[in-house]
Structure formats: structure tokens, C-alpha cells
Amino acid sequence: MLYLSIIVLILLATVIMVGVGDRLNLPWPVMMTILGVGALLLPDRPHLEIDSEIILPIFLPPLLWAIGVKFSWGTLKRRWRSVLLYSVLLTTASALAVAGSAMWWVPGMTVAMALAIGAAIAPPDPVAVEAVAEPVGIPRRLIGTLQTEGSFNDAISLVLFHAAIHAIDHHEKVDPLKVLWDFSFGAVVAVVVGYIFGWLGGYVRQKAHGTVARSAVTLVIPFGVYLVAESVHASGVIAVVIAAVQFTSTKYLVALEAEDRLSNASFWQVIELLLTGLAFGLIGLQASEIIYQADSTRLLNLFCYGTLISLVAIAVRLLWFAAVWMLGNMKKTPVHEGAPGTFAEVIVMTWSGMRGLVTLILALSIPTVAGTEELRADSIVVVISVLFFTMVLPGLTLPFVVNVLGVKADHSEDNAVPELLELAQHAALEVLQEEARAASPETYRRVKDMCTAITRRDDIIENLPDEYKPKMQALKNSREEYTRLRDVAMTAAQHEVLSAQDRYDPNDVYRVIRKLDILSQADTIRSNNNFVLPAMPAGAVALERYRLLREHLGTSSIPLVENAPSSPLVTSVDSREKN
């Protein structure tokens, strides 16, 4: 019961910290780091022992899956240079530089333990990058490069980390050729394993009935592919990412319903958040014993070493991105898609290299070997210092850095959304034209109006002459007033149904609440800033369907609502119904 109670308390603390972060406008990865530090400094802490061999298989697969599903085969093909430059070469260079710094500064540091520290610190956390960098207005192409870097850098780190741990366990030297062979073999086998699991998972999800079953498949596959890949000495990281890419390939994604895509997105956002909070909390509690057992003077020295090593990791990253930028200037063309175009962008991409959960997990995964207990404790303290310095400080100051340097999103990147909307509209109208013969002219007109509205955007007001802008602004204000009244009305409707749930069957209450939620969300989507669909009052389609049913049956036991709001999409009730 102790472990279960601790898990529940950590999850509750995670939710509270995220809520506090939302109110203070702080990114949730920073709040999770603060949560871990809070667990680290807890005075009356419970004694926890978590097997280092199960930490990675529990926390890593779902987080990697959440990253992989955002990619496609076309994206990886376009960004292969980014994968090579950053996920492979930059991660390796960072790990070696950090390892050399640790050997130089930390007394008694061995080569194997220093390499383990370097492997743990080298990979930035793509989850933190997305949560922190994207909201501050960094150009989308830079965020894409940072996400690409984070998709496979953990694989390189794990290979280096396992080589270091093998050397620690067997008191051997690290063999560079063996490390290279392990990575090459593991990468090839991982791609095969990941592709097979991705194909099988996509097929199973396509054949599954119900949104719940299809969502459950996405939770099982990451753990399965990771365990199988690791059992054949392949890279579980690469296998999970490849499986996610294949799993969400176009063929399987198109076969899903809209509800599946929306529910899966929300489901994985919750999983990502709770797992990160749980990992930081549990590992913080476990590491707290090391902190409290250490001498205060020695602890202060280790934090200083961690700060210096953090500066080395940041410097390596800065020099690497600067070299890519200067090479692009010499060639008069970017080295790769999403390369930094100015030195200001170099600084922003450097400062966005925030370390996260993988760094902390690898630090706690260093095994305890006879004669290395004190060195292991020192290494963990150093890694925690680096994590705090490279997560909390950049996470809190990145918006300020972006504003000072004047790095802003390029409006030319916004062309992608209109292009995709035009593709969607063209496909919809083309199919509609083919199916027009089987529909009435009135129905065809309504659907065509909806398809035409796909590309209608609110920011058209910026391109209007000045004399029209006041009127458009008045219409916009009117819509905001409509949104406010709609929210009040829908909230009242939901509260009324919920207050009556004791008098009705729970299933009936659930169905009504679900319908109200869908109507409210659909209306919100129709009035967002991306595109506007025709206005459709709640129940308009159901009202028309019911009117036709009345005409067919000639009678009904359910009366129509008198003085119901009219809709341009619903034919008025004929005179027979009014009489």
C-alpha cells in the first residue's frame, strides 16, 4: 500500500503543479522538474527502492511513442540530415565532451562512469522542447528541427550508456569498435522490428471495433515493441519510433474516424503528462537518500561541478549550431530543412536544448557495483545539477531570450495551413460533384456551402479596405458575444442534466451529456481562427431529420418546440405542422 499511496500522491501533485503552471504561465516540464526537486528535498521521505532495470521499460516506451506518432515517412525522408547531424553526431559529441569534463573536474572519476554521465546528459528532451519552445513563437521550422533531433538521440545515448555500464560491471575498458557495432546492428534490427509491429498494430486497430479498443491498441504496442527489440539486443528507442511512424502511416490514419483521432490525441497528452510527473516524483524520492547522506561541503562542490559541466554541454551545442549556420551561409543555401538562418536563431536553438526525463532516468539506472558506491552517488548528484540548470533556467528564460533577440515566427510558414485547407476543399468538392446525382439540389447546395467554407479565414479582415474594417470588427465582437452566451447556455444545460442524474438511468444521462459536449465543441471549432464553418444551431440537423420523419409517418408522440430558433440550414416547418 505504501507504493500505491505514493503513486497516487505524486499524480495528484502533478495535476496541482500543472494547474499552478497554467495560472503562472509556466511550462509544465519546468513544473515537473520543480516537483522532482520538491520530492528530492522532502524531509520525512519514505524509503523507496526502484529496480534500475525496470525504470526504462516502464517510462520510456510511451513517451517515445508520443513523439513518434507526430512524424511520417515523408518527414523522416526530408529531415534525414537533421537526424544525422543532431540525433547522431551532436549527441555523440556532447556525450564525449561531458565525459571529458567530468573526468577533468570530478575527483576519482573513471572513464566508464564519466561516459555514463555524458550519455545521460547528452540528449535534450523533445517533450520539454515542444511544451516550452512552441508557445513562445519560435519559427515552426526550428521547432521541427528540435523535435527531429529528439526523436532518435535517446538511441545513441542508450548505446553509449549501456557500453559504459558494461564496462563498470565487468571492470573493463570501453571498446569504441564494439559501441559502433552495437549501434549499427541494433539500429538495423530495430527498424525491422519496429516496422513489423507498426504494421501489425495498424492492422489490428483498423479491424478493432469501437474507439476504446482502438485507443487501447496504441497503449500496448509501445511496450511490446520495446521489450521485443531489447530482447534481441536491438535499440528499443528506434524500434518504438519506427513502429509509431508506421502505425500512423496514411493508410491506417485515413481509415480512422474523427472521434478516434481526437480521443487518441487527448489520451496521449494525459499519458505523457502523468508519466512524466510520476517519473520525476519517484526518481526524486529515490535520489533524495543520496542527497541527504552526502556531506554538505562535498555536495556543494558537486553542484559546482554540475554547473561547469552544464556550461560545457551548452557550449558544444552552441558551437555545433553555429557551424551549421556558417556552413549554410558559405553555401548560400541551408544545410538542411529547418537549419538556423541567423545567429539569433543559433542562440535560441542552443538555449532550447533542455534536458529532461531520460537524463534523470539514466542517472538513476547506474548500477551499484562494489567499490563504486560513492562515485555513483557523486555522478547522480552531478546529473541532477545539470538537469536543473539546463531545464529550469532555459524553461523560465526562453520567452525573454526570444523577445530580446527578435526571433519571431516567419509568416511565410503560415502558407502551409491554407495550402492544406485548399487541398481538403478541392478533394471534398470533387467527390461532392461525383455524388451530386444521388442527392437533392437543396442537400447538395448545403454541403457545397460547408465545403466552400473550409478555406474561409477570419484574418481576411486584415486585407480589407479601411472603410470596411469597423463593420468587420463589429461582426467579430458580435461573434464573441455569441460565444459568451453560447457557453453560458450550454453550461446551464449540462448542469441541469447532471443535477437530474439521480432520477434517470446513468446511461441515458451519459448519452445526453455526450451530445451536449459534442455540440459545444463542434461550435467552438467552427468559430476558431483557422477556418469557419457555417453556423448551425444546436439540434438543427436533428430537427430537420425529425421533420422528415413526421412527414413520413404522419404523426408523432414528441412535440416540436414552439418558437425554436431558425437556421438557414433547416427548412422551415411547413404550415401543416404550425397548425
Query: What's the pLDDT tens digit per position in 22-31?
Result: 887 777 778 8
For residue range 142-160, what is the model confidence (pLDDT) as tens digits?
A: 888 888 888 888 888 988 9
Q: Please state the rounded mean pLDDT for residues 462-476.
A: 61
Asked if the model's pLDDT at residue 487 lies above 60, the reply is: yes
CA separation for the pair 121, 97 (Å, rounded): 10
Which one-letter amino acid corresponds to residue 134?
E
Mutual angle of helices 52-68 and 126-133, in 10-degree steps: 50
Q: What is the average per-residue pLDDT within 256-282?
A: 74
Separation CA 532–CA 280 (nearest Å): 41
CB 143 within 8 A of CB 133: yes
Q: For residue 472, with 0-12 CB atoms within 10 Å meaning exposed, 13-18 middle and 19 or more buried, which class applies?
A: middle
pLDDT for 191 beyond 90: yes
Q: Answer whether residue 87 shows pLDDT above 50.
A: yes
Residue with C-alpha cell 535560441? 348
Q: Three cell numbers at 388?
A: 536543473
Most confidently modeled range among 256-260, 385-389, 419-423, 455-459: 385-389
Average pLDDT over residues 452-457: 63
Q: How confident is the model at residue 537 (pLDDT cuts 50, 70, 90)?
A: very low
- The whole-angstrom separation of Cα 245 and Cα 242 is 5
**Of 127-136, 218-227, 408-417, which gets the smallest average pLDDT?**
408-417
Separation CA 179–CA 175 (nearest Å): 6
- Contacts of residue 576, defined as CB under 8 A and 6 or more positions apart, other chains included, come to none
**For range 85-96, the mean pLDDT:** 93
The pLDDT assigned to 536 comes to 40
Alpha carbons 240 and 228: distance in angstroms, whole number: 10
Q: Yes or no: say if 198 and 242 are a contact pair by the CB < 8 Å rule.
A: yes
Residue 83's nearest CA partner among 238, 235, 263 is 238
Three-state DSSP at 377 gives helix
What pLDDT is stored for residue 103 in this prediction?
Answer: 92
* pLDDT one-digit tens code per residue, 554-568: 544 444 444 444 333
Residues 6+ apart with CB under 8 A from 15: 277
Provide the 8-state DSSP code for 70.
Answer: T
Domain ranges of the chain: 1-42+51-409, 416-463, 467-531
**Is it the case that residue 424 has pLDDT exceeding 90?**
no
* pLDDT score, position 411: 57
Grid coordinates of 354: 533542455
Residues 6+ apart with CB under 8 A from 274: 11, 14
Among 243, 264, 203, 226, residue whose Cα is nearest residue 73: 243
Cα 542 from chain centre: 36
The residue ranking higher by pLDDT, 421 or 26, is 26
Q: Which three cell numbers stand for residue 208?
A: 478493432
Cell numbers for 426: 478541392
CB 398 within 8 A of CB 351: yes
Quote the CA–CA distance of 223 and 421 in Å, as a whole number. Answer: 36
363 or 319: which carries more pLDDT confidence? 319
- End-to-end CA, the chain: 68
**Region 161-190: what's the mean pLDDT?**
86
Average pLDDT (337-364) is 87
Instruction: Grade residue 570 by pLDDT with cuts at 50, 70 and 90.
Output: very low
Between residues 100 and 502, the one the model is more confident about: 100
Q: 226 pLDDT band (50/70/90 cuts)?
A: very high
Which parts of 313-355 are beta strand (E)? none
Is the separation of the CB atoms in 86 and 153 below 8 Å?
Answer: yes
Strands annotated E in 436-479: none
Cβ atoms of 239 and 187 within 8 Å: the answer is no
Give percent of the chain above pLDDT 70: 76
What CA–CA distance (Å, rounded) separates 91 from 96? 9
Query: What's the longest Cα–Cα distance across the chain?
Result: 95
Task: Give the pLDDT band of residue 526 (cuts 50, 70, 90).
Answer: low
In the predicted structure, residue 574 carries a pLDDT above the cut 50: no
pLDDT of residue 254: 55
What is the rounded average pLDDT for all residues in the chain? 77
Banded model confidence at residue 439, pLDDT cuts 50, 70, 90 = confident
CA dihedral 16, 135, 64, 113 (to 10 degrees): -80
Residue 44: is its pLDDT beyond 90?
no
Q: How many CB atoms lie within 10 A of CB 167?
A: 19
Angstrom distance (rounded) from CA 240 to CA 61: 7
Q: How many Å apart are CA 161 and CA 147, to the nearest integer?
A: 22
Mean pLDDT, rounded, for 569-573? 37
Instruction: Return the CA Rg of the chain.
Output: 28
Determine whether domain 1-42+51-409 maps to CATH 2.60.120.560: no
| Alpha-carbon distance values, 274 to 12, 28, 431 (Å) | 9, 11, 42
- Cβ(94)–Cβ(309) below 8 Å: no
Contact 348, 334 (CB under 8 A): no
User: Which amino acid appears at position 521 of this protein?
Assistant: Q
> How much is the average pLDDT of 172-182?
84
pLDDT over 80 (residue 417): no
This prediction has a pTM of: 0.74
Tell which phi-psi region holds residue 510, choosing left (phi > 0), alpha (psi between -120 and 50) or beta: alpha
- pLDDT band for position 43 (cuts 50, 70, 90): low
